[in-house]
């Protein structure tokens, strides 16, 4: 088992699920969220609108996940998670970000999904420092794979070379630490 790092457009992947780094409304936004909504077509927005609001404007709190269909995507499902906005690292950001990965994998397992692709959650407009976020992504996904049979294939998707390098370094470091433990 290993974690794959892939550079490119997450909306092009033919996997059971892609993870959307969403905002709490789940109604689309910038970055990967906007790209996923555009590629999936209007059906995704309509399905998101049908999800219950927990409070005005909030369909998915930070650190949680909600599932929808993939609509026009090759991926059969979209798992929407809301990463933390980086403040200073002392407002539970690491735990909330780790929860995004863990809860997405847990839901994928419950849904019987065998492949899942994650973007670099919170690294865009939410301002999470790339190397710290990559470390959490690698550590959480590797820990999941060591103790769970599915999803068997986990991809960390980078939209540019700098993100790909950070993710690759983080995966190698997490694997080394895991093997040493």
Query: What amino acid positions are annotated as catalytic residues?
Result: 33
With contact defined as beta carbons under 8 Å apart, do 26 and 51 qualify? yes
User: In a 3-state reduction of DSSP, which class is residue 35?
Assistant: helix
DSSP class of 113: -
The token duo for 131 is 């190397």
Helix, strand, coil percentages, rounded to 5, for the chain: 45, 20, 40
Helix extents (H) in the chain = 31-40, 42-50, 93-110, 130-147, 161-180
For residues 94 and 132, the answer to whether their CB atoms sit within 8 Å is: yes
Can you tell me the distance from the alpha carbon of 123 to that of 27, in angstroms, rounded to the nearest whole number? 19
């Amino acid at each position: 088992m290993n974690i794959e790092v892939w550079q490119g457009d997450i909306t092009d992947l033919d996997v059971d699920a892609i993870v959307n780094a969403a905002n709490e409304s789940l109604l689309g936004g910038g970055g990967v969220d906007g790209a996923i909504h555009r590629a999936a077509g209007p059906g995704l927005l309509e399905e998101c609108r049908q999800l219950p609001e927990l409070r005005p404007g909030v369909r998915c709190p930070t650190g949680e996940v909600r599932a929808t269909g993939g609509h026009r995507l090759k991926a059969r499902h979209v798992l929407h998670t809301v990463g933390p906005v980086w403040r200073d690292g002392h407002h539970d950001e690491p735990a909330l970000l780790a929860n995004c990965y863990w809860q997405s994998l847990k839901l994928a397992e419950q849904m019987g999904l065998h492949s899942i692709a994650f973007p670099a959650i919170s690294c865009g407009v939410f301002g999470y420092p790339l190397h710290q976020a990559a470390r959490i992504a690698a550590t959480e996904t590797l820990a999941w794979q060591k103790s769970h049979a599915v999803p068997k294939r986990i991809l960390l998707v980078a939209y540019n070379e700098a993100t790909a390098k950070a993710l690759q370094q983080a995966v190698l470091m997490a694997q080394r630490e895991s093997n040493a433990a």
